Amino acid sequence: MKVLSLTFALVLAECILAAPSKDIAHKVKETVIPPRGWKKHSPAPKDVTIELRLALPQPNFSELEKHLYEVSDPTHHRYGEHLSKEEVEELVAPHPESLRLVDEWLVSHGLPVESFIRSPAQDWVKIIVPVGVAEEMLDTEYHLWVHEKSGKSAIRTTSWSLPEFLFDHIEVAHPTTYFPSTKSMTATFHISPDVPPTEANAKTLLSSLDVPSAHNGQVDPECNNNITISCLQQIYNMKGYVPTQTHHNRIGLTGYLEQFANIADLQSFYAYSRPEAVGSSFNVVDINGGQNSQNLSEAGVEANLDTQYAFGLTFPTPGTFFTVGGSPPIDIDNHTPTNTNEPYQDWVDYMLGHPNPPQTVSTSYGDDEQTVPESYARRVCNGFAQLGARGVSLLFSSGDFGVGDGNPDPETQVCQTNDGRNVTRFIPTFPATCPFVTSVGGTIKIPEVAVDFSGGGFSHLFSTPSYQQEAVNAFLQQLPEGTYPGLFNPSGRGFPDISAQSERFIVFVGGQRGHVGGTSASAPTVAAIISNLNDARLAHGLPPLGFLNPLLYKIQHSGALNDITSGNNPGCGTQGFNATAGWDPLTGLGTPNFGKLKDIVLRH
């Protein structure tokens, strides 16, 4: 928190007396049509407080992006020379004029400078204000909105404005037009029953499956029924690897919406699938009031899946579970909302302020991209770029609804734009579409094929980044002319980038053993593999991998990625995209071969 000097405070007071901001003309900054299903309930109470975040422009972000690509490109002489926290903050810091004007404006609304909460780079400022004050500042009206199907509620507006002199000095105001996802940002998982081997496949179970890329070229056939730690080690050629850099390497997982990771369940899982890890646990970091109840009845399927596999595959590497609060329900009758922010930015703020964040982080949550205002999506994505420049590998699950809109039944998906035009098109998932993260799709069976729910496609917000231009063009060129006209953006960022097994993972939840699936199983699996690659690099005196995508696309044809060429991801009344040779928008570049990847990353 910064405190202005007495001289500057006096200057501010003179400016305020000379030109009260409430008399200055406003100009509309952003207007949206509320996402489908949201209905205006009533005016928001004027005295209810909200945490209002303001994002100031980052005039040198293009320079940071240049650094990011150089230190992430294995053919560049700067590969692995990640930036320090201070170097990143200097590159994204706002112009002093933006700081001055925004501070003056906030003070003019009766907000003391000492109450401002700033991000480490000062490119975000957070203030706690009554709704009535926020409405005056942004020349808008807040309302309580309710989602008819889910019952979720939020304080939001559909349009906001700024004084003209501030128009180029504030990029985002939040919460304003970003409505919570109708999926409540729930983790992408499927629960499947425990199915014992049938007589029909009994003979198959007597012999191993030949998989040339796997450990010793074979995989236990039982892995077609139950995915365990051993199965993943076999399939991805990682069996026998034991991390050694436990004082330097760390892996992190994020948990949102009261998804609690249960330690008793973890011990049961370890006893079943990783006996040598029994007795070990993980660190818990709470952000913005996040909790991690250890009541077995409150154990989260997603949180347990993530911790059991990411930490089980990387044992004894230290693991951290980030439990993030935010976006609780609003009691409309009592008008007592306690927080109206979405959790992504809270987590990014924490990580950017951390002097030594985990080198690998997996997240299995997402929104329909079209429900996230472009200004907000780009700023969150830019935050991910800052972490990548500092050497952090960020992995996000690609989603569980194929090319569809989050409705589990492909036949009833709406798949229409929420901009008032109601145009039919595929619905990509954010943050998986951010070009500065690694998006993870899903596979199934041995040998592997694409799973039909694997989220994938092309962003409508972000253009195709240079590192994947060649791979995406190759896919588009083999599509028959006229395929899905208008349903996807061929100039958009293609996702996912990579994939892994995503069905029939054995987990323990609430003291019970069962199966879980989804790309939320794929993401922590790939994250664990990346963490072990970081371990190998650190053991050889090399820096962590950091932002992965430039490396992955450079080694596409090296044999270190198992190309998946069968399967499709239906949705929106279509068959979706097909898995093909090379990159495709449901399995990306394929699945990882740890042994070959290790050989490659130790050469750079």
The answer to whether residues 543 and 391 touch, using CB atoms and an 8 Å cutoff, is: yes
Residue 230 known to be catalytic: no
Indicate which residue of 520, 522, 563, 584 is catalytic. Answer: 520
The one-character DSSP state at 69 is H
The answer to whether residues 523 and 363 touch, using CB atoms and an 8 Å cutoff, is: yes
Q: Kind and range of the H or E element at 269?
A: helix 263-273
Q: Identify the three-state secondary structure at position 43.
A: strand
Half-sphere exposure of 335 (CA within 13 A, CB side): 12
Greatest distance between any 2 Cα atoms in the chain: 87
Task: Give CA–CA dist 156/141, Å, rounded.
Answer: 9
**Strands 492-495 and 561-562, how do they pair?**
unpaired
Task: Give CA–CA dist 62/66, Å, rounded.
Answer: 6
Buried-state track 250-284, b at ≥16 Cβ within 10 A, e below 16? bbbbbbbbbbbbbbebbbbbbebbbeebeebbbeb
Buried-state track 485-519, b at ≥16 Cβ within 10 A, e below 16? eebbbeebbbbbbbbbbbbbbbbbbbeeeebbbbb
Indicate which residue of 51, 302, 349, 584 is catalytic. Answer: 302
Task: Give CA–CA dist 26/166, Å, rounded.
Answer: 9
Task: Give CA–CA dist 31/38, Å, rounded.
Answer: 16
Indicate which residue of 30, 65, 73, 306 is catalytic. Answer: 306
Tell me, what amino acid is at 423?
Answer: V
Name 88's Cβ contacts closer than 8 Å, sequence gap at least 6: 64, 121, 352, 386, 389, 390
Q: Kind and range of the H or E element at 136?
A: helix 131-138
Name 469's Cβ contacts closer than 8 Å, sequence gap at least 6: none
The single residue listed with the structure tokens 């007396």 is 17
Phi, psi of 518 (to 5 degrees): 130, 165
Task: Give CA–CA dist 55/52, Å, rounded.
Answer: 10
Residue 566 known to be catalytic: no
Tell me, what amino acid is at 473?
Answer: N
Strands (E), 14-169: 26-31, 38-43, 49-55, 117-118, 124-130, 143-147, 153-156, 159-163
Q: Tokens standing for 107?
A: 């003070």
570: left (phi over 0), alpha (psi -120 to 50) or beta: beta
Residue 400 known to be catalytic: no
Rg of the chain on CA atoms, in Å:
24
Q: Tokens standing for 421?
A: 């035009």
Residue numbers annotated as active site: 302, 306, 520
